[in-house]
Structure 1
Amino acid sequence: MDRNESARFFRELLELSEAPSWGPFTNIQLDDGVLLQFAEPPVEIQMRHYAFMVDDDLFDRAYRRLCDAGIEHWADPQMRRPGETNTGHRGRGVYFRDPAGHAIELLTRPYLPIP
């Protein structure tokens, strides 16, 4: 994993500005103030799932960038619907892996509660 490549991937995908970085971390900061830190071994980090709620316009642009870059993506977390997006929960969503192998989800609406 290359921490700078991962940070650059998210900055470009989510249209974010550079953020100050320090120590073993390369940082990005989301518009709401959330700070994401990327590190390389020997920092031990397990693979995870991260979801980002974005507006419809950013979803369209980000999805276009995923497709243009040839990044494999799915409509579902089980990866059974390749090359598609979903329209669940009154919005749209897509799943893919970032450069470090983490499962990433972009969605445009929050999930509806399960009755």
Structure 2
Amino acid sequence: MSVQLNHTIVHATDKKASADFLATLLGLEVQPQYGPFIPVVTGNEVALDFADAGDGPITPQHYAFIVSEDEFDAIFGRIKDSKITYYADPHRQRPGEINHNDGGRGVYWSDPDGHILEIITRPYGSGSGS
């Protein structure tokens, strides 16, 4: 078997709210709680296991998802409908824009705990464009 990512833990101040936020925007389902985790599973079966952060600060992480063109349209529509501020870049220097890197489309936004979320339609390095 080749090496595959199975799951990662996403720390949150409210794991249920954060799992719902991601699942709703991406069009996924929140899975039943498993131990201390509330999973959201992607199409390639990678679980993002939302967990309570405890008393310490949350260190924002970056989570990127590759999506089809139709999925991009649907997700981006939900982002705009929710009036979530979005950016063309991870440093948040280009608000209200999307990017066209590698001939695809991409957009960034933040979850309630400051994690940077991204959807792209083409993997980085797969084509030309800026």
**1:58-83 superposed Cα distances (whole Å, 9 cap, x missing partner):** 11111111111111110111211101
2-side partners of 1:82 and 1:18: how far apart?
29
- Pair 1:27-2:39 in alignment: yes
- Structure 2 vs 1, CA of residues 43 and 19 (structure 1 numbering), >3 Å: closer, same or farther? farther
Question: Counterpart of 1:14?
Answer: 26
- Give the secondary-structure state (helix, strand or coil) at the position aligned to 1:39: strand
1:38 deviation in Å?
Answer: 0.5
2-side partners of 1:35 and 1:78: how far apart?
26
1:96 deviation in Å?
Answer: 0.7
TM-score, normalised to structure 1, is 0.90
Question: Counterpart of 1:77?
Answer: 90
TM-score, normalised to structure 2, is 0.80
Question: Counterpart of 2:53?
Answer: 41
Please say which of residues 10-19 and 77-86 is displaced more in the overlay.
Answer: 10-19
2-side partners of 1:89 and 1:80: how far apart?
19
2-side partners of 1:47 and 1:77: how far apart?
12
Say if 2:30 and 2:38, in contact at 8 Å, map to a contact too: no
Say if 2:19 and 2:30, in contact at 8 Å, map to a contact too: no
1:106 deviation in Å?
Answer: 0.7
**1:64-113 superposed Cα distances (whole Å, 9 cap, x missing partner):** 11111111110111211101101111100001101221011110000116
- Pair 1:96-2:115 in alignment: no
**Which AA in structure 2 matches 1:31?**
G
Which runs of no fewer than 5 residues in structure 2 stay unpaired?
1-12
Which runs of no fewer than 5 residues in structure 1 stay unpaired?
none
Alignment root-mean-square deviation, CA: 1.8
1:43 deviation in Å?
Answer: 7.8
Question: Counterpart of 2:80?
Answer: 67
